[in-house]
Amino acid sequence: MKSQKSQNQKLLSVTGSYFLLTVLALLFIGPIVFMIVGSLKPDDLVLAEAGTLKAFIPTEASVQNYRDVFERVNFGRFFWNSVLITGTIVLGGLLVNSLAGYALARLRWRGKDWLLAVVIALMIIPFEAIATPLFFQVAVLGWRNTYIVQILPFIANAFSIYLFYTFFIALPKELEEAARIDGASTVQIFWKIIVPVSKPVFASVTILTFLTQWGSFLWPLMVTIDEKVRPLPVAIASFQTLPPLQWGDIMAFGVMMVAPILIIFLLFQKWFVKGVATTGTKG
């Protein structure tokens, strides 16, 4: 009797959990579906059907809104700017931050503990707090309205360094000691031993960095002047104010801006989930 009651309670608990997760998933997915469907509708139906189930049904679907975006603005240029800026930050950050995290986790040198404390302290400082002094600094250097001003300040990242540090410090030292006995140098150990077994943390940092930089708005708004170096977040803000106001076109612009984020996550989700699980187990 008790066993049957326990099983019923467990079934009820599991059912309730799945129901709650389904509701939360619908709340998160709903706006994305609305945006995708709205991008396929004529402009006069996008908001007219909002608030009803018809908003999620692609009636009179076409790709005219996507054509309108390319006709009204230089979307290809904006997209390339975001790819170049974000891709460079991600690749450069993986190199710089992983090396810094490995140095803090494994190498012995004077001042290491102090630098680690600085890295942790920098994690709690919001970018908005340093945006103004950083703006004046790059203005003095003459870097405004360039790619470098949108890339260089964000390659080294305290949070990424700390993620690499926590992952590397949890790896067994026997792997490195065996390689060192065989005559491998520190650089060889890092590239041939550490990097191959660190795919989860590399994937996690890739996704988190990409999400942050792809949607960056404040800094590009401050340092860019013309469309030549303007990324997508600033471009879509300007597009919303471009007459005539066409909500279907805005939805299409948003879909093309969000699509790369979904693709990156789907490509790296396996390692990302593994990295989160590993960090939770070891930390």
- Residue of 8, 69, 73, 63 whose CA lies nearest to 37: 63
Mean pLDDT along residues 106-124: 87
pLDDT for 281? 43
What value does the mean pLDDT take over residues 221-225? 91
In this predicted structure, the answer to whether residue 147 has a pLDDT above a threshold of 60 is yes
pLDDT in tens, 84-114: 999 999 999 999 999 999 999 888 888 888 9
| Alpha-carbon gap, residue 7 to 253, rounded angstroms | 50
- Give residue limits of the domains in the chain: 2-62, 66-282
The predicted structure's pLDDT at residue 265: 79
pLDDT band of 44, cuts 50, 70, 90: confident
- The mean pLDDT value for 193-209 works out to 89
**Exposed e or buried b per residue across 194-208, where buried means at least 16 C-beta atoms within 10 angstroms of its C-beta:** beeebebbbbbbbbb
The pTM assigned to this predicted structure is 0.85
d(CA 260, CA 266) in angstroms, rounded, equals 10
pLDDT digits (tens, 9 = 90+) for 154-175: 999 999 999 999 999 988 888 7
Mean residue pLDDT of the chain comes to: 86
Does the domain at residues 66-282 carry the CATH identifier 1.10.3720.10? Answer: yes
Enter the tokens of residue 151.
Answer: 């890339």
Q: Largest Cα–Cα distance of the chain, in whole Å?
A: 78
Residue 232, pLDDT > 70, answer yes
Q: pLDDT value at position 74?
A: 93
- Which of 189-198, 213-222, 273-282 is least confident? 273-282
Residue of higher predicted confidence among 163 and 244: 163
The answer for residues whose C-beta is within 8 angstroms of residue 75's C-beta and 6 or more apart is 69, 235, 253, 256
